[in-house]
Amino acid sequence: MMAAMGMVMDRPWGAGELFLTFVMWAVMMVAMMAVSALPVLLLFAGMQAQRVDRGVVPAVPSFGLGYLVVWLGFSACATAAQWALHEGALLSSTMATTSARAGGAILIAAGVYQLTPIKGGCLARCRSPLGFLMSNWRDGPSGAFLMGLRHGTFCLGCCWALMGVLFVVGVMNLAWVGVLTLFILAEKIGLGGRHMSRAGGAILIALGAVLVSGRT
């Protein structure tokens, strides 16, 4: 997979490898977050359609662009993290950390974050698209962009730590990408999403503790 992307694991990366890594993260983030972002985007589009008589509503793509900008920013940060792991010789050919302690620390950190009020507050806003739109409404394309930016920030607040789990299981491990995508979707639209979030956090902490203790 790495060779197919034109990337190398046995020497320092150049600008080409960094760019490919950023593209990989950006595409993966869009694919993972598109489904969970769809409810608020459809609701926003419907509300905008009622405010105009006909034609394309420019505010809708502006909202989507604002949301996208947030995740492109995260992709840049993830690229930097992956580059640092590579330079420290802590990354395998599957783009998973080779250090059990580092992997355990990532899982524990992600699990603890799942239990924080910040995570809970962001999740509450993501689980209530109508409430978010009503309390953050701004008119016009520029206002829609700011709304998309704000909603994307709440979404990032929900999910950034879970994305870090990919550094433990393998960034290009499609099975785990699918599992995390479904978990994020269940958190946001499923019944008992907050309870599921806390249960997931407890599991991550337990798994991380096992890795750190060297039992695997």
Cα 194 to chain centroid distance, Å, stands at 17
User: Which tens digit of pLDDT belongs to each residue from 135-188?
Assistant: 998 888 899 999 999 999 999 999 999 999 999 999 888 899 999 999 999 998
Question: Residue 45 above 70 pLDDT?
Answer: yes
Q: How far is CA 197 from CA 26, 40, 105, 142, in A?
A: 24, 20, 19, 33
Q: For residues 122 and 6, which has the higher predicted lDDT (pLDDT)?
A: 122
**Domain residue limits, the chain:** 15-213
Q: Which residue's entry shows tokens 């407890």? A: 202
pTM of this structure = 0.86
Phi-psi region of 95 (alpha: psi -120 to 50; beta: other; left: phi over 0): left
pLDDT at position 53, please?
Answer: 55
pLDDT of residue 189: 86
Task: Retrieve residue 9's tokens.
Answer: 């694991």
pLDDT of residue 3: 45
89: left (phi over 0), alpha (psi -120 to 50) or beta: left
- Band (pLDDT 50/70/90 cuts) for residue 1 is very low
Beta bridge partners of 45: none
Average pLDDT along the chain: 87
pLDDT in tens, 82-107: 998 888 888 887 788 888 999 999 99
